[in-house]
Amino acid sequence: MPELPEVEIVRSGLERLLSGAAVAGIDLHRRDVRRPMPASLRTLSGPVRAVRRRAKYLCIDLDGGGILCHLGMTGSWRVAVDVRPHDHATVRLADGRRLVYNDPRRFGVLDRLRPDGGHPDLDGLGHEPLSDDFTGAALAACFADRRGPVKPALMDQGLVVGVGNIYAAESLFRAGIDPRTPAGSLRRPRLDRLAHCVREVLAEAIAAGGSSISDFRHAGGEEGWFQHAFRVYGRGGEPCLTCGTVLRGMALGGRATVWCPRCQRQRTR
DNA sequence: CTCCTATCCTGCGAGC
DNA sequence: TGCTCGCAGGATAGGA
């Protein structure tokens, strides 16, 4: 479910829900998700100062710390009026509402932020693709000496954050770049284009409310619409919507990858 | 370093 | 209808 656009939509939903709210306490319903959830989370309380996103992480800032959350593949937050399987933690608000973290596969992370809002998981992350410093020049510096394919490089959170399997495929299609192209072989004009296309695809996805695959929903239960705009993701064997060529698929870096052999090239011709 | 694979876990759809 | 298999938005450890 969650790549940068989906996490950003969750963030803005939580921001709206938590604006002016205060945390009364946190209940943990099991010991761990992907990692152990620290017992010190239970002692957090007080007014919500901010709801931030960094990479695919959510940060709920409270005085003296806060909550760090990564949604993994299947994490979600909802205002609970019921109890469901895989509810792993409950944030009790002072007004009586209960905000519940649910995560069937338990690939997510819930941890406590330091009082300064930092966390070891937030160190060593790469460029935010929607920030001004995300340019072809930045990509050139990241990709230098990388001989592996560009798609896994684009998904490496130490280089560029927030881009996962869907948006990597869609961005490379839009940029006309074959996902197998050695990252370090790409030159400036194409990297400028790639940076531009990544930014454009992510921004459009946010505007469309994200991509609802199987279970992604907004905090209010609405679906996103960007899944209807996919040009290549999940379309292996089907015709390219631009040129009609049959889209090709193979695993890259262990992830399903689809591209158009005609529209996407390793070199410009 | 870089790169590749396997792994964590549950749910769902395809195919038999 | 009911079963098994493969695969899924992510991240990381371990080996080559």
Q: By CB neighbour count within 10 A (0-12 exposed, 13-18 middle, 19+ buried), where does A214 fall? A: exposed
Question: Do A63 and A150 fall into the same domain?
Answer: no
Question: Do A78 and A152 fall into the same domain?
Answer: no
Q: Is the backbone of residue A176 left (phi > 0), alpha (psi -120 to 50) or beta?
A: left
Contacts of A6 (CB under 8 A, 6+ apart): A71, A210, A211, A216, A224
Question: Do A62 and A167 fall into the same domain?
Answer: no
Contacts of A196 (CB under 8 A, 6+ apart): A136, A175
Question: Do A85 and A171 fall into the same domain?
Answer: no
Q: How many domains does chain A have?
A: 2
Q: What Å value separates CA A162 and C1' C13?
A: 22
CATH of the domain at A195: 1.10.8.50
CATH of the domain at A69: 3.20.190.10
User: Which chain C positions have some atom within 7 A of a protein CB?
Assistant: 7-12
Sign of CA dihedral A176, A182, A183, A187: negative
Asked whether residue A232 is assigned to any structural domain, the reply reads yes
Q: Which residues of chain A have a pLDDT value below 70?
A: 1, 214-221, 269
Which pLDDT does position A90 carry in this prediction? 98
Which pLDDT does position A84 carry in this prediction? 94
Q: What does residue A39 show for φ and ψ, rounded to 5 degrees?
A: -60, -25
Asked whether residue A268 is assigned to any structural domain, the reply reads no
Question: Do A115 and A214 fall into the same domain?
Answer: no
Residues with CB under 7 A from strand B: A 34, 85-86, 104-107, 145-149, 152-153, 183-184, 214, 251, 253-254
Give pTM, 2 decimals.
Answer: 0.96
**Percent of chain A residues past pLDDT 70, beyond the cut:** 96
Asked whether residue A91 is assigned to any structural domain, the reply reads yes
Asked whether residue A157 is assigned to any structural domain, the reply reads yes
- For A11, the token pair is 């963030």
**For residue A199, what is the enclosing H or E element?**
helix A188-207
Structural domain including A234 reads 136-259
Question: Do A21 and A72 fall into the same domain?
Answer: yes
Catalytic residues of A, by residue number, are: 2-3, 56, 255
Which pLDDT does position A213 carry in this prediction? 77
Domain boundary among A122, A157, A185: A122
Q: What Å value separates CA A115 and C1' B7?
A: 33
